[in-house]
Chains A and B, each alone.
Chain A
Amino acid sequence: MSTPVPISSSARATTTEEARYRIDYPLAAARNTRVVALDEAAEMIVRAASEEDWGQARFYVAHDPGHDLITMAGETVPLAGELEQSNTVVMVSTAGENSEAAATIGAACKVRGIMTAGLVITPGRLSSEALLTLRPYARILLVPADEDDLVELLRATRA
């Protein structure tokens, strides 16, 4: 006589049939992401991404010393205010410019417990000024990232 499979066992719980009973409910956008371009070429990439449909993501440009950000509409806003509700900041660099701004943003994120990511968009180059600029401040770096990696990252993280 075979042994009955208990209803809570892994053998039963991992079946396709049981997957049907997983609770189905809409997921809120958990990410409140700020995307910051650190140079002109990065701005073009960030601006293109900003035109897609996002939950709570907002998009900016930063110049040294980085205490203010510039929105895609050209408005200057204080960094501290824009970080208030945020839990992720993605910095995008192609050239390693505005390293002081990267440091300012990185430090501001660190004290607020905000996750930082960096995209080093230097096609074909594994080492660059952009990498050195972002490395100290980004918990995760994509090197070299493709231009579409920004949109991919934002979509995957429900930004």
Chain B
Amino acid sequence: MLRKEINDLLTQTGPGTKMGELFRRYWQPVLLAEELPANDCPPVRVKILSERLIAIRDSDGNYGLMDEFCAHRGVSLWFGRNEEGGLRCPYHGWKYDYTGQAIEVPSEPATSNFCENVKLKGYPLVKLGDVLWTYMGDPANQPPLPEWEAYTVSEKQNFTSKRLQECNWLQALEGGIDSSHVTFLHSGNLNTDPLFKGSKGNEYNAGDLKPFFEVVDYEGGLLIGARRNAEEGHYYWRVTPWVLPNFTMVPPRADHPMHGHFWVPIDDDNCWAWSFDYHPTRELTDTEVEAMRAGKGVHSANDDAYRPLANKDNDYLMDREAQRRGETYSGIHGIALQDSSLQESMGPVVDRTKERLVATDAGIIKARQKLRKAALALAEGVEPIGNRPEDQKVRSVAIVLPKDQPFVEGIGEAMVAKPGVPQTTV
């Protein structure tokens, strides 16, 4: 249960809001590189953190993200002509470079300095891996580029997708932190999904339906350890890292690629669920990539606008027969849609004054507390955590440990991303 004012604080990320200011201290994924596939390609509308923007890739390959609307009469630059080193408004020909700086105002005399004083609000747009990232805060506070392992390995070791999720970002994030739902909601998928099946860990999952949890506070965020009984004298641990404000990773299974998410607010009622898979030591196989493109694992099959084909307009293609047969627990196919269908069913922004949390929701309780404290502290001038490269070199872990060993001790360096070192998995 949260008081309304705390729920508002955590869920509102527009300009000037406390959580919005916190988000504006982190690099965030904005577009897949495939959305701006070539120099002078069509511009793309972007909405992130409740700001309407336009993204371009200019004639020289520079990426830019700027206010969507022309400074002159407020026309959407989505209709613009992306050519000859800038984006030209089709209404009166005003032209902007990739930073948002006006470089031509045809109605002014050729020698006029008018356009020097016209600049659209603009943000850096940087390609890392196959994703374009932006930083929307004060340039003076810009952190180093992110160093998430998924985006420091070669592009052939990574597959990233995004899907529209039609609810507030915090509902989606909380699903990523809440390990206890896997036992129910995703139970039908562990042994059938090609990106999950074949793991010894699946047997431990099936053999112990009441896991114990340890929520460990660490510098970048939280480590949520779920422990189940393994062989005599041992526990099977699945360790999920959450790094402020919106990064989570799923513990690995066998030698399958590792996966995780960023939950990026579009506005207060919608978010992008970014889903990635990568393998730290090898390229993904064609079979794995094919499965990911087909919506297996943490991905979804989407339309051209990255909205899942199974969505609320078609009741997520609910399959009651599959539910009855036990193939799916909720009747919805695919892990990603199993999550988003339920999270969207709560409504755009769930009323957390009405919830009844239980002790096993402690990870969610603690994450909310850390987000609230970070947002309030930032307003008082305290720098946030999670935006430093050392916070980002983190991995999820699956491991079997002796019962008397604290999991943080047991996993040791396994949660630290190191180039060329295999993941720790069961």
Contacts and interface: CB of A to CB of B under 8 A. Distances in A.
A145 B366 CA distance: 9
Contacts of B73: none
Q: Which of the four size classes fits the interface of chain A? A: 35 or more
B350 to A, nearest CB: 9
Interface of B is mostly: mixed
B97 to A, nearest CB: 39
A88 B359 contact: yes
Interface stretch (B38-46, B131-139, B242-250, B311-319): B311-319
Contacts of B366: 142, 149, 152
Contacts, number: 118
Given A15-B348, A16-B269, A153 B362 contact: yes
A30 B409 CA distance: 36
A140 B347 contact: no
Contacts of A149: 366, 369
Contact of A30 (B316, B356, B404): B356
Nearest to A25: B354
A107 interface: no
A152 B362 CA distance: 10
A138 B341 CA distance: 32
B359 A140 contact: yes
A141 interface: yes
B344 A14 contact: yes
B16 interface: no
Given A16-B348, A27-B356, A141 B215 contact: yes
Interface string A114-150: 0111000000001100011001001111111110110
A143 B345 contact: no
A155 interface: yes
Given A14-B348, A131-B406, 7 more contacts: A10-B345, A27-B356, A141-B213, A143-B216, A144-B217, A152-B369, A157-B1
13 contacts: A10-B315, A10-B344, A11-B313, A16-B269, A88-B358, A115-B359, A139-B213, A140-B359, A142-B214, A143-B216, A143-B406, A152-B365, A155-B1
